[in-house]
Amino acid sequence: MDVGRRSGWPIYAVAPKNDIHTRTVVYLHGGAWVNEINSQHWRLVTHVATGARVKVVVPIYPLLPFGTAADVVPEVAQLVVENMSTGHGVCLAGDSAGGQIALSAALLLRDDHDVVLPRTVLISPALDVSLSNPMINSVELTDPWLAREALSVFGECWRGDLIPDDPRVSPLAAELTGLGPLTVFSGTRDILNPDARALVQKATAAGVDIDYHERFGLLHVYPLMPIPEGRAARAVIVERLRAH
């Protein structure tokens, strides 16, 4: 593991020892934009690096109240561009709030840098800061983890001065045509699941290659969990990122 700094952010790079890396994954951790990276994230990062034989770059982006979407998303996009300058293929990945940042950055790369990523992996992503999908009400009754009211407060703070449907904070609101392939994971006992389903429909209609993995009865970020379904999901993640 190596660590550097960019724009004041610690930037970690995790890669198999004594390996030659031609591919890079930039991974954005989740935590509702307020929680630090944790051991589950690092286990996934290590698993991806060793399993896919890639370098995984992990930016420790500023959390609320010190960072907002308008600050963080462009910096992540620029980090991807800088890693591309080494001649490496670069993918984005993220879970939960990190999934929002990853997809928003992929959109910004398409629009401002004319870059189409070979793969973006989204694990239970936050896709719409408004949480206005009417199906969330029924799902919340079965979700033991996330609460709409609390997540709305964090999301509004993360939005800052942006309008609610700005793609930098609500990527589901964006035009998706021209995005590179997406791999998305979601459990049905997750209040973010209705928006994941909406993303599948919208991406498919826009001609985007989307690879969707939904597991009935499972919770938010289940691919990070030490359960059989989590292990199966991690195997898919490794395979997709190895293939890019």
Q: Which long-range contacts (CB under 8 A, 24 or more apart) does 207-212 make?
A: 207/177, 208/176, 208/177, 208/179, 208/180, 208/181, 208/182, 209/180, 209/181, 209/182, 210/181, 210/182, 210/183, 210/184, 211/181, 211/182, 211/183, 211/184, 211/240, 212/183, 212/184, 212/186
Q: What is the pLDDT of residue 32?
A: 98
Range of the domain at 29: 2-243
Q: What is the pLDDT of residue 1?
A: 81
Q: What is the pLDDT of residue 243?
A: 79
Q: What is the pLDDT of residue 172?
A: 99
C-alpha span between 179 and 207 (Å, rounded): 9
Number of domains in the chain: 1
Walking along the chain (244 residues) 10 residues at a time, the average pLDDT comes out as 88 88 93 98 98 97 98 98 87 99 99 97 98 97 97 98 98 98 99 99 99 98 98 98 85
170 is catalytic: no
- Residue 99 tokens, joined: 């999934």
Q: Which of 7, 39, 85, 96 is catalytic?
A: 96
Q: What is the pLDDT of residue 213?
A: 99
CATH number of the domain to which 61 belongs: 3.40.50.1820
Q: What is the pLDDT of residue 6?
A: 85
Q: What is the pLDDT of residue 120?
A: 99
